Structure 1
Amino acid sequence: MKQAPLNIEEEYRLELQRFLESPGEKSLRRAYEIGREAIVAGKGLLEMGAIHRVVLGDLLRAAGSVEECYRLTLRAGEFHSESLSPFEMASRGYQETNAALQRSLNNLLAAQEELRRNERHFRSLIEHALDIISILDSSGVIGYESPSIERVLGYSSEELVGQNAFSLIHPDDLPGILDLFSQKLRAPGSSASGEFRFRHKDGTWRILEGIGTNLIHDPSVRGMVVNSRDITDRKKLEEERSRLLVREEVAQAEADANRRLNLLAEASSLISSSLDYETNLAAVAHLSVPYLADWCFIHEIDEGGVLQRLAVSNCGPEDGDALRALQSRRALELDPSGTFAKLIGTGKPELVSELGDDALLALASGDEQLALVRGLEFRSALIVPLMGLGRPLGCITLVLSDRGRSFGSRDIALVEDLAHRCAAAIVNARLYRDVIRERDKAEKASAAKDEFVAILSHELRNPLMPILGWARIFRNQDAVMRDSVLSEGVRSLERNAQIILRLVEDCLDLTRISERKIRLDKKVIDLNEIAESSVEAAREMAKEKDLRLVVRLHPSNLCVMADQTRLEQVLMNLLTNAVKYTPNGGAITIGSRRVDGEGEIQVKDTGIGIAPDFLEQIFEPFRQGSNLWLATESGLGIGLSIVRQIVEMHGGRIWAVSEGIGRGSAFNLRLPVTAVSPAVAAPLAPAGRAREGQKPMCVLLIEDSADVLYLMKLELGWLGYSVLMARNAE
């Protein structure tokens, strides 16, 4: 197909390019022919000049340097001059066109010089900038690296160009950076920022903050442009500042915690200093302001259910008159359906943002105080009930007047702890008061009991003395003892009178011990001698029940410091119990030995035994080993209690051992031994009978009981004394 003819501008452009590529006469002839064609087409000189400027401008923009532009302009001028030769006035048109071209060339040269200056300025900024400018391709390979990389990371630009930037990023940071990079690859023109660690040339890690912009589709860039800045020092400063802030916060928290602990410790010390809880709680109220609140009220619900204000304290001296008016202890009228009563009843702390009159009435008493409290501008309150024994005992009310303060969770927890301690103080004081009240009742009852027992025992001893005395007299009368019935009656009379006398003596001893009226007459005695004398005293009782008495004493003396009478009383009690609770035909063993610097006496029987649960209880007053003891013999169950107390008064100990009911029992008594031997007392000569030729010794008897008086006169007379009697000392 035949191509369409080109227009003058296209033809001019084509031939000019050919001329510039291959100058010669042939090309110049084409310039002349184009000029002729332009004349034929009606083109003028100015139009041809405009076509030349357009074509030349396009060529100059594609030129690489100013020298090239200058060369192109001259060569193109030659071509243009030839194209104008057909025109009349060619020289004039050439001059005009050339002048315009010269102006354009000068403008272009000036623009290029400005471009060079800007390029030098930009390059200087890039080279001296703190930021690193990098251009990466879509796989992360570095295509350009600004010179500042060497100052920041130690690498030269040439060292990094061609490397993959991701290979120098810290492994922990790499996944996030790769994910961000891939997101931005899918969004041309978008930007994203991030922080990551980059390996320095010396092997250390520096923290960089980078902003990446996707310019891969921009023909002039074709890459991901990343501006990075070293923020390692800033990060260190931030971390140090964070550590300092943390330390400061920790120090403040510790100081606050210490202050709270000190407050609780001081409050605990105040509360526990005495059982006067009202005074102590007033001190706690004073301690609570101004640290916890501006005002502190402590109320108590007494045992009658009446709410009473115990304490008030505030931190402002300007409110002194109000404080004095509110400090008087008064019973307050509490509406059961009101807010205050409901809050106390919940048993939980409650924040009240606005205090109504029903709550203010719980803080004030009467219209005058209510008006006073209203004037104090109470803003908010924290009400914490005092709970004890499963019910509300009162409350602590902390009030704020300052609008710049508020109660936090730690304040509530602290006041709850404080409330628990205050409630415990009230409970302890009330329990102590109840204990004292009950103790006083018990002491009065015990004193009355002891007085009754002492009187009863005394009254029982008086008639017992004649009974025992006449029984001894009858037992020494041959006429009475030859009669089997009378002899048995006398023995029974004496035996039962002795039992009653022992019970009476036990009651008196128990009373003396409780009143600490027993005095020990201690001296060095031999336990073996006490054991032997006690065995002999009990032998008659054992014989009546056909019991075998086995004595196994330590071969040498076991000397102790003791009251002989009381120690004999202890052993006689143990032997009497052994006889009482051992069936006929049984055996009782009395032994002594030295154990670890102590002397021990053991009374062991084959009797009814003691239940394991009762081995300690039998030493309590009015307790016995089992019901079998009750069924065996009469007794009050106080003998062993007296025995233990006497032994402990001697610095010793006593305990029982038994394998159970029906297995017998053993009582072990231990006392500290002494190295001093017992003194041997010289036998006393009978003082009653007068020697031959001497008058009998005269004895004055004063006794209000006529029966006892006559009996003693009779027995003393038989001993050879002369007796004078009187019923009283008058």
Structure 2
Amino acid sequence: MSDSGTGNRSVENTTEQAIIREQRAHRIAMQVAKIGTWTRDFRTGVVEWSPELTELFGLTPEQAPRAADEFTALVHPDDRARFGAEVAESIRLHTDYHFDFRYRHSSGEYRWMAGRGRGFYDENGEIVEQAGVGIDITEQYEARELAKDRASLLRQIGDNLPHGALYQVIATPEGARQFVYWSAGIGELIGVSADEALADPVKLYQLIHPEDVPRVQVAEQVSLEGLSSFDETLRIQHAKTGEWRWVRLRSAPRRLPDGRVVWDGIYADVTDQKHIAEALMHSLERLDLAQQAGHIGVFDWNVETGTVIWNDEEHRIFGLELGTFGGTIEAWEQRVLPEDSDSMQQAMRAAMSRCEPQMDFAFCIVTPAGELRSIEGAARFSYSAQGKPLRMVGVNIDVTERLRAENALRAADRRKNEFIAMLSHELRNPLAAISNALELTAGKPDAATFEWSNIIMRRQVAHLAHLVDDLLDVTRITSGKIQLRTQRLDLADVLDSSAAGLRLLFAQRNQELIREYPRDSMPIDADVIRLEQVLVNLLTNAAKYTPLGGKVSVTAKRDGAEVVLSIKDNGVGIPQEMLGEMFELFAQGRRSIARSEGGLGLGLTISRTLVEMHGGTIVAQSEGEGLGSEFIVRLPVAEGPVPEAKEHPPIESETSGSTKKLRRLLVVDDHVDTAQSLARLLRLRGNEVEIVHDGDAAITAAKAFQPEVILLDLGLPGMDGYEVAEQLRRDSEFSRPMIIAISGYGQEEDRRRSREAGIDHHLVKPVSFAQLDGMLRHTRERD
């Protein structure tokens, strides 16, 4: 038994080391979890604060209250009474207290704290000391779901501080295990008293987690055979609560004279450390994910040695493989643009010479692949007591995409402003012409002047209507509300009809339109109206931007599974920097802003979308300004021939035949000038016309006047046009009159609502009176 003293000293040393390690783990736990501790001596009245607790309150150690009432003054007024009651009750019952309260930070802000305390009493039951922890739980109150997890961890750390027990176990040559000693702490650890553990060692083994048993058995056998130290961490189930706890068993074996082996060891509960480690691991994982998602790199520069440490994201930002960074400040400088490297070094030296705590910076780098990237960042400096710079730790953020987006946003905003200015210009021009023409007709002009003024006003009104149509088309395109009505066509036929409609434009500009394409060999499936819209846009642009007397050529051919159409001019050309933006909304550029022709520059945006809806592509080409331009459209070839066109009977002219003239017309429009001018035109055709300006009046007038046709505006005050139509159709007396909507609302949704309300026709302002007059002449009355 001569080795027992040595064994005891070994156990004592081991125990002392374990306590030191546990204290260190405790400090780490307190720092990680931001927990402060305090003690209150009831004999002296002095309250002692830990550094962590003073930091939570934003105080220096000198500012920390030393008296209980001073501390209570920092508690929120609404919580003080309950706080005092909880503490008093815990003292009366000799129990711990758990209480969440609000405290005042040095900044003046009230934050939440979880207070935990325990009293210590003398032999007479009088309290002599209290000790506890304060945990800042502000974030838990702001994010309750996260707070539950963190509060649980904090309670475990606060309520189950690391503890352990000593033990001694003997292994016989036959393989039996016999515990000969357990300290009293075992009861609290696993719910089995020391006497129970000594009497039934098998019971302890049965509490080991089944997954850990094989590993523990192997480690025990290795220790037994080689008399090597035993050190294993495993899970033990608490005998009373069923809770699984992590424990660490460490022991040193020695062989007794009779051949038995005895292990003298320490049993430590490391559950809290495990939880802390897991929480730290999850926190680091979240931090790493945040750094990757935000392109945030972290660096640590040891100023004294010149070494630099990067995280993984910093390598990715600089375009380097992990571990290939040189690890020095010089290696960093080599990857920064020279001009930025010089300015950065000057800024860092200046900051450190003034012992500034931190600095913000921005610089550009070039990756090994030759990519230019923009970096922004911030760093903090550490200094010695003498002011010597020691470290610079900071973050870098790759802001390349953000700067590109900001530049693109500024460019889009500039284009939008240019477009608005152009829209104002395009609206004011026809209005000025109309105003001038009206002035000419205000007196008693001769017939020639009156006719000329009439032509001017008609042309400018048509121009305004065209501008509005372009704006509506863009709206429908951007909202995805355009639907194609495709049919089998030959591209040559569409080209012929588009060119025919622009014959007068080219003649007025003395321009030559050259067409070269085959017949009956370019079948496509297309919406003829929308495809003609594309071709007219492209041909009109070519005419506008080609000088008088210039040439525009249209060629088309079949190329495998596609037909390729080219519209080429020898006009003003397109700057190279504008080629990539020609089809973007609001991207007119100098070509449009300095133009002499009208238009909003929306045609190319509309054209590209329509071509893409047909499954095709459109691109612009130009050698530069003054060298002309070419627009190339590719469309998929359709399988099968183009059906022969059906012959349609001739449309009867307005003057042919004798149709029954509609005599009673009701005009409903809240715009007085519009209503009166339309009524005047209708009366000139011999119709009897009544006018009202709101929905309620329309219902009353319809019952009294009994109109054969109602011309109905939809945007009426009070009861709108849809409601007027619905109410009239519900009355059997008004199932017969025709209702024609004449409105500024022309979207497909507006037309659908018109049909559902029982409206027969939907016309969009401004309506050609010839169109309306023809509709009134050739539409039969309802049966």
Tell me if both proteins adopt one fold, taking TM over 0.5 as the criterion.
no
Which structure shows the bigger proportion of residues in helix conformation?
A: 1
Q: TM-score, normalised by structure 1?
A: 0.36
Q: Which has the larger radius of gyration?
A: 1
Q: TM-score, normalised by structure 2?
A: 0.33
